[in-house]
Amino acid sequence: MDAVGPPMTLLTDLAEIVRDHRAHGALTADAAEPAGNRHLLTVVCSCGVLFAREDAEFDLLRAASLN
C-alpha cells in the first residue's frame, strides 16, 4: 500500500507545473477577483495544460507565515 503524505501546497504545485512546462513556451497566470473568501489562481501553458487552484490565499498566507 502506498503511503499518503501531506497535501501539496500551492507553491509546491506551482513549482511543479513551471518545472514541467516552461520548456513548452509561455505560461500565463491569472488570479481571479475574490468571491467571498475564495480566490482562484490559474496558470495556462502554451501547450494547453491548465493548472487551477481555488482558495489560493490560504496557502499563500500559510507559506508567508513560514518565512
Query: Would you list the domain boundaries of the chain?
Result: 10-66
Q: What is the pTM (predicted TM-score) of this model?
A: 0.65
Nearest CA to 12 out of 48, 50, 47, 56 is that of 56
Mean pLDDT of 38-57: 84
Residues forming beta bridges with residue 43, ordered by sequence position: 29, 51
DSSP tag of 8: P
Question: What nine digits make up the cell of 3?
Answer: 503511503
Neighbours of 65 (CB within 10 A): 7
Is pLDDT of 55 > 80?
A: no
Q: For residue 54, what pLDDT band results from cuts at 50, 70 and 90?
A: confident
